[in-house]
Amino acid sequence: MKVHLIGICGTGMGSLAGLLKAAGHDVRGSDEHVYPPMSTQLAEQRIPIFDGYRAANLDWSPERVVVGNICSKDHVEVIAASERQLPLTSFPALLSELFLAHKHAVVIAGTHGKTTTASLAAHVMVDGGRDPSFLIGGVPLNFRQSWRLGHGNEFIIEGDEYDTAFFDKGSKFFHYHPRTVILTSVEYDHADIFPDEAAVKAVFRRFVALIPPDGRLLVCASSPGALEVAEAAHCKVETYGRPGTRALWTFEVAARLNGGRTTMALARDGTRVGSIDTNLPGIYNHENLMGVVAAVASLGVDIATTARAIRRFLGIRRRQEVRGVAAGVTVIDDFAHHPTAIRETLLGLRGRFGPGKLIAAFEPRSATSRRSIFQQDFAKALAVADEVVLAPLFSPEKVPPSERLDVDRLAADLRQEDVPARVIANVADAAAHLAERAAPGDTIVIMSSGDYGGLHGRVLDALGDPVMPARSNDKARIGTFLDRVGIAHPVLDQFWSSYLVIPALGPDAPLVGCVALEVMDEVALLRMLAVAPERRGEGLGYLLVETATEQARNQGVRSLYLVTDGAQGYFGQKLGFVVVDRKEVEPRIATTAEYLLARSKNATWMRKEL
């Protein structure tokens, strides 16, 4: 089938496009103001994008036109489709028709935590040997794309309460045929379509009532709103929650480990059932984990399998994602735009990446965050940070003047609480200010439902020589750089995403250093460490290895290996590695391309216990 998607770079629409392409459909779409990660995903799938909206985009005669909820009835492509009698449909309706109707739909719903929880559930099911499909409103790093077409019975879907299309004002999740549901929270949100909290609860009640009697609803016990709407369910209901809640599934924090990892002791109905080691910070994320444990247990995945998978979970793009480390400062990207999400994100990040200050930069961009309804709540949430930078409202003209968030007042309220805060309109000025205020050991978290004008990269550039996780546009640069320094890279296509890179100033500049981290459960290998000849002696190799080591700790690695042709003194004295006999190398390391390539008599294997 030939399918055209209007607004194809939206999170859900882009994921649907990938799913349709994987299922064999001819997919194209149109959009404007495109930015990663969705634009990158579509390019990798070779899905054509028409730049801008116009009637001519439909000249290829699609059989269905999917209308995103960005569209009104007078949208140029909607009008063109109607004139040409091309059938209009919505993203949820087509997803339901082609993929969900005959699957066991595992729907993750709630005001907060949907993307993280859905990503966790998908990873656990795949890692546990199941073959689910999924569609998620973010990019799980374990998969590097937001969708998967599997052959198993389960389809994991992020259930959004936002409306569907201009011709269908019902919530998206009404289309999803839910059988197993995780309900993370219910609070007031989406102020542009819901007049009050009662309206939000009403749609969630209607949603949980759709679960059939033989289905299951897992509810977070610390959310009063979720517990309230769960009373409308006709199926079995189980609760999960943090310590102190009256939940069926509970946890206690048993230990906090190096690298920000946490060990959680799990219990069901008061009986210990196992433990989980996770790199996810914050009690709200630990609750998300418990919801997944409970849901997949009902689908036949045992606790030990779940625990193994969660240990390997890498996180999600734009959810507490480390964008880079520069001058000892860690720069984080996060999607938070609701006061609760901002507060919990900041609490979870405090002290995680260093003992210094926690500096927050917030762009009020979403329909809810631009409104004054949360004026006081934003002040309380952002006061968790040590310092705050605020952007002006994004597209303020879209909100009536009487309803707009007062950003200057928000900054003043924060200063009243002894939190330095200022509004900085220009992104370049904001980057310079943040770089000036930050010191080694500090964390800067940049929060927006958009791209904040590229503030993340600007801050890293201002700090200088950032070590950054590689993105897809870095793959060619890595190959060019390794060619330049004379290092063969026969498996680059397989491992480019495991690289850390140091670019010269600017997003498209050549690289001046790189290293790859290949992780295999509790052991890992540093590969392809290289620094440009003209930059050697500046400590860039040290920065790369130290950053990779911290990343390894964060992923639960306990033994880190590398091979060197004569620099063992440097790695031993400065970085704490010890020489090991090649015969003592962990068997999993011995299967890697690096091990097989290291045949020189001068090659020395080294290991560091983390």
Domain residue spans of the chain = 2-91, 102-311, 321-463, 468-609
Q: Is the CB of residue 501 less than 8 Å from the CB of residue 478? A: yes
In this structure, what token pair is assigned to residue 342? 């901002």
Helix axes 375-382 and 407-416, enclosed angle (nearest 10): 50
pLDDT for position 507: 62
pLDDT grade for 139, boundaries at 50, 70 and 90: confident
CA-wise closest residue to 18 among 189, 144, 122: 144
pLDDT for position 504: 85
Give Cα separations from 2 to 15, 58, 123 (angstroms).
16, 11, 31
Q: Which fold has domain 2-91?
A: Rossmann fold (3.40.50)
pLDDT grade for 492, boundaries at 50, 70 and 90: confident
pLDDT for position 43: 83
Mean pLDDT of the chain: 90
Q: Which fold has domain 468-609?
A: Aminopeptidase (3.40.630)
**Residue listed under structure tokens 């200063």:** 415
Q: Is the CB of residue 319 less than 8 Å from the CB of residue 138? A: yes
Q: Is the pLDDT of residue 376 over 60?
A: yes
CA-wise closest residue to 114 among 214, 207, 196, 252: 207
In DSSP terms, 447 is beta-bridged to 334, 362
Question: What is the SS3 assignment for 201?
Answer: helix
Q: Cis bond leading into 401, ω under 30°?
A: no
Q: What percent of the chain has pLDDT over 90?
A: 63
pLDDT for position 506: 64
The pairing of strands 64-67 and 421-423 is unpaired
The Cα 212–Cα 234 span in angstroms is 7
Question: What is the SS3 assignment for 414?
Answer: helix
Tens digit of each residue's pLDDT (9 = 90 or more) over 286-334: 999 999 999 999 999 999 999 999 988 888 888 889 999 999 999 999 9
The Cα 275–Cα 289 span in angstroms is 11
Q: Does CATH place domain 102-311 in 3.40.1190.10?
A: yes
Q: Is the pLDDT of residue 176 over 80?
A: yes
Least confident of 267-271, 316-320, 445-449: 316-320
Give Cα separations from 610 to 63, 111, 499, 523, 548 (angstroms).
56, 37, 20, 10, 12
Question: What is the SS3 assignment for 412?
Answer: helix
Tens digit of each residue's pLDDT (9 = 90 or more) over 5-60: 999 988 788 889 999 999 999 999 999 877 666 677 788 889 999 989 999 999 99
Same fold, 321-463 and 468-609: no
pLDDT for position 41: 73
pLDDT for position 602: 66
**Number of CB atoms found within 10 A of residue 91's CB:** 26
Contacts of 162 (CB under 8 A, 6+ apart): 69, 171, 172, 190, 193
Long-range CB pairs of 233-236 (<8 Å, 24+ gap) are 233/208, 233/209, 234/209, 235/211
CA-wise closest residue to 606 among 570, 583, 581: 581
Q: Is the pLDDT of residue 598 over 70?
A: no
Tens digit of each residue's pLDDT (9 = 90 or more) over 199-233: 999 999 999 999 999 999 999 999 999 999 999 99
The pairing of strands 262-268 and 271-278 is antiparallel
CATH superfamily of 321-463: Mur ligase, C-terminal domain (3.90.190.20)
